[in-house]
């Protein structure tokens, strides 16, 4: 019975963490941490053109990715206001990986305000790289 309560608690907390940022062009952005850390969707990515954007490819099951994800979630003061970091699921975003030639999981793409890729970095370096741009 205790394990059942724990599972319910985890599910409730998980649902509570999905916070809406509002709508842009009719889309709701799925915030997963600071206001500028979002789950990747093509609609959200496109609607936030004009910002410096980064896409980090990560998996829910990987301990390394959990560490990086936690660091980004707790770093809202280190992420510049005109920067948006997207978390893309490495295991399900097949077309996105193909489009940007992503072969390994631990990679982040940084796009300038015009939409061109300016850098490819390891996820653990994403915060320091973006704060220096």
Separation CA 129–CA 1 (nearest Å): 47
Residue 39: inside a domain, yes or no? yes
Residue 104: inside a domain, yes or no? yes
Residue 62: inside a domain, yes or no? yes
The strands making up 117-121's β-sheet, listed across from edge to edge, are 19-24, 27-31, 37-39, 83-89, 52-58, 107-111, 117-121
The domain of 37 spans 20-131
As for how many domains the chain has, the answer is 1
CATH of the domain at 114: 3.40.30.10
Query: What's the Cα-to-Cα distance from 70 to each of 1, 60, 120, rounded to whole Å?
Result: 30, 12, 20
Residue 122: inside a domain, yes or no? yes
Stretch (H or E) spanning 107: strand 107-111
Residue 7: inside a domain, yes or no? no
Express each pLDDT in 41-67 by its tens digit.
Answer: 999 999 999 899 999 999 989 898 899
SS (H, E, C) 48-95: CECEEEEEEEECCCCHHHHHHHHHHHCCCCCCCCCEEEEEEECCCCHH
Report yes or no: 113 and 102 within 8 Å, Cβ to Cβ: no
Q: Rounded to two decimals, what is the model's pTM?
A: 0.73
Express each pLDDT in 94-118 by its tens digit.
Answer: 999 999 999 888 889 999 988 999 9
Residue 6: inside a domain, yes or no? no
Residue 123: inside a domain, yes or no? yes
Residue 80: inside a domain, yes or no? yes
């Amino acid at each position: 019975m205790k394990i059942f309560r724990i599972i319910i608690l985890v599910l409730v907390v998980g649902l509570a963490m999905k916070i809406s940022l509002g709508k842009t062009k009719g889309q709701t952005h799925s915030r997963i941490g600071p206001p500028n850390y979002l789950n990747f969707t093509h609609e959200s990515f496109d609607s936030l053109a004009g910002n410096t954007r980064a896409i980090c490819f990560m998996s829910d099951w990987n301990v390394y990715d959990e560490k990086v994800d936690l660091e980004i979630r707790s770093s809202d003061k280190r992420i510049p206001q005109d920067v948006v970091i997207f978390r893309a699921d490495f295991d399900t975003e097949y077309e996105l990986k193909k489009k940007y030639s992503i072969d390994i999981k631990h990679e982040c793409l940084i796009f300038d305000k015009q939409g061109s890729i300016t850098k490819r970095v390891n996820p653990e370096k994403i915060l320091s790289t973006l704060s220096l741009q």
